[in-house]
């Protein structure tokens, strides 16, 4: 007996054409939502990291003596952050005793219009340099520093 191969359109396989395209179109919105969520999560994490960087820079600058400072702590904190994050940042500096604390609050940007993700807040505490009060500024010599 001779086997005869029928064309695909006569075998019934032609009805499946385009099925993968239809399934992909149904799955595409889910992929887009997952992609947007990943980008938004990365943006929020970056904003939190930048708030921490600004808080450390502001606290470090505030812990210096006023005579040693070249800029104020708020400017130092904003200079340490990325420009678009620093534009919306609010920095507060305060301290008691032997330490100073800086807190940075930054609004988390949203890639989805109309959705508010709140703000990120980070704080940093730095010790103030200890100087014996009886000796005054002359006591600020460090090992290896030239004598005065």
Domains in the chain, CATH or no CATH each: 23-127 (3.30.1300)
Contact 31/39 with Cβ under 8 angstroms?
Answer: no
What's the predicted TM-score (pTM) here?
Answer: 0.71
Check whether 105 has a pLDDT greater than 80. yes
- Max avg pLDDT among 2-11, 46-55, 123-132: 46-55
For residues 46-59, give the mean pLDDT: 97
Average pLDDT over the chain, rounded to an integer: 84
CA separation for the pair 69, 100 (Å, rounded): 14
Strands (E) in the chain, as ranges, are: 90-96, 99-107, 119-127
Average pLDDT over residues 118-132: 86
pLDDT beyond 90 at 145: no
Angle CA 132–134–135, to nearest 5: 70
């Amino acid at each position: 007996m001779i086997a005869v191969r029928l064309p695909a359109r006569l075998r019934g396989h032609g009805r499946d054409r385009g099925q993968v395209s239809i399934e992909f179109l149904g799955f595409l919105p889910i992929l887009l939502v997952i992609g947007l969520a990943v980008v938004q999560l990365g943006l929020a994490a970056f904003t939190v990291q930048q708030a921490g960087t600004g808080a450390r820079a502001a606290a470090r600058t505030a812990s210096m003596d006023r005579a040693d400072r070249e800029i104020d702590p708020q400017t130092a904190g904003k200079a340490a952050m990325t420009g678009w994050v620093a534009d919306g940042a609010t920095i507060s500096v305060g301290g008691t005793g032997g330490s100073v604390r800086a807190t940075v609050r930054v609004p988390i940007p949203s890639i989805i219009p109309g959705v508010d993700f709140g703000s990120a807040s980070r704080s940093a505490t730095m010790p103030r340099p200890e100087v014996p009060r009886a000796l005054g500024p002359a006591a600020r010599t460090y090992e290896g520093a030239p004598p005065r």
